[in-house]
Amino acid sequence: MTLSSLPTAFEMERRMAHVPVLTEELVDILDVRPDSRVVDCTFGAGGHASAVARLLSADGMLLACDRDPVAERYFRELRGTWPCSMVFHPGNFAETLSRLNGLDMRATHVYMDLGVSSMQVDTEDRGFSYSYDAPLDMRMDSMGDITAAKILNEWEEEDLGRVFREYGEERYARRIARAVVRNRRSKPYSRTAELVDTVKGAIPTPARFGSRNPARRVFQALRIAVNDELGSLRRALPEAVSLLEPDGVLAVISFHSLEDRIVKEFFGSQAEPCTCPPDFPICACGNEPSLEILTRKPVLPGECESELNPRSTSAKLRASRRL
């Protein structure tokens, strides 16, 4: 190994910040050409973008977007590393895709990595993790109005229970919501450790001693609610299809069943859009498919990747081609 081949300090920091999942599988299914126009909807620390950009020539383009302001710093460091043109759009990817459609831009490839990056989870003062005592924030965009503390302190018990149940798939959602409302009367929530203690105190004793932290589902639910993650995904998918030119590929990496279900159902509705009753001999609705599904079953991480990066174990990759 020569001195020039050693990773720079920035590269080392970026590798520590986030390990992208299913990178080889994503690159393989995208099948990027040197002159492709690619949209990375969730740039993060640039892991997937680096793998894609190295395949592009000076005639190609990589347009990246991310709502996290930290991501733009990583983009600036990466820009110029490869010969393709590279552009960054800050903000929510659903809004960015809508703006690009308004400009009549067309892309050959669009991909999304819906996971929370390590640079968010492992930055203690952002409040994403139940492993650290930190402010109850959880905003991916620090300029957003809603924080986890605001939800816990101001939302009604019924709404809290719904969020914990629907977004976290939490079995004891109602009990936890009731405990939150009761506790906040004497002291508003401000720290992650306070919420962890509330969850542990609200659930049955046996449920406190599983292999994983009992607060993980509540933290997931709050993060989804704070950042409107599922709403953003639902808005982004049709915008991404509109942005694609014929034969363009849309790929999505999800990390929990709620996201995967939305992607699966959307792909299915676009691949088989007919709304006629099943006993109709011919289609009368006139709806034609806009997508061809490339992954009948989701692509999962291999055993080696799962061992090296335990956070990848829940990842699922689905892809479709624009007709």
* 279 pLDDT above the threshold of 80: yes
Angstrom distance (rounded) from CA 165 to CA 179 = 15
Q: Does domain 3-119+230-322 have CATH number 3.30.420.310?
A: no
For residue 155, the model assigns a pLDDT of 98
Helices (H), 273-317: 303-308
User: Per mean pLDDT, which range of 40-44, 78-82, 96-100 is the poorest?
Assistant: 78-82
Output the pLDDT for position 8: 46
Does residue 5 carry a pLDDT above 80?
A: no
Fill in the DSSP letter of residue 8.
P
- The pair phi, psi for residue 90, each rounded to 5°, is -75, 150
The mean per-residue pLDDT over the stretch 70-84 comes to: 92
- Rounded to two decimals, the pTM is 0.90
Give residues with Cβ within 8 angstroms of 150, minimum separation 6. Answer: none
Is the Cβ–Cβ distance between 232 and 141 less than 8 Å? no
Q: What is the pLDDT of residues 220-256, one digit of tens each?
A: 999 999 999 999 999 999 999 999 999 999 999 999 9
Q: Is residue 13 over pLDDT 70? A: no
* Mean pLDDT over each residue of the chain, to the nearest integer: 92
In the CATH hierarchy, which fold is given to the domain comprising 122-227? DNA polymerase; domain 1 (1.10.150)
pLDDT digits (tens, 9 = 90+) for 159-212: 999 999 999 999 999 999 999 999 999 999 999 999 999 999 999 998 888 778
Q: Which residue has the tokens 């105190």?
A: 201
Give me the pLDDT at residue 160, please: 98
Q: Is the pLDDT of residue 317 over 70?
A: yes
Q: What is the pLDDT of residues 47-68, one digit of tens each?
A: 999 999 999 999 999 999 999 9
- Rounded to a whole number, what is the largest CA-CA distance in the chain? 70
Rg (CA), the chain: 21
pLDDT at 7 exceeding the cut of 70:
no
> Got the DSSP string for 28-55?
HHHT--TT-EEEES--TTSHHHHHHHTT
Does residue 316 register a pLDDT over 50?
A: yes
Give the model's pLDDT for residue 280.
85
Q: What percent of the chain has pLDDT over 90?
A: 79
User: Does residue 16 carry a pLDDT above 70?
Assistant: no
Q: Where are the domains of the chain?
A: 3-119+230-322, 122-227
Structure-model confidence comparison of residues 30 and 15, the more confident one: 30
pLDDT-based confidence at residue 122 (cuts at 50, 70, 90)? low
Given this chain, do its domains 3-119+230-322 and 122-227 carry the same CATH topology? Answer: no
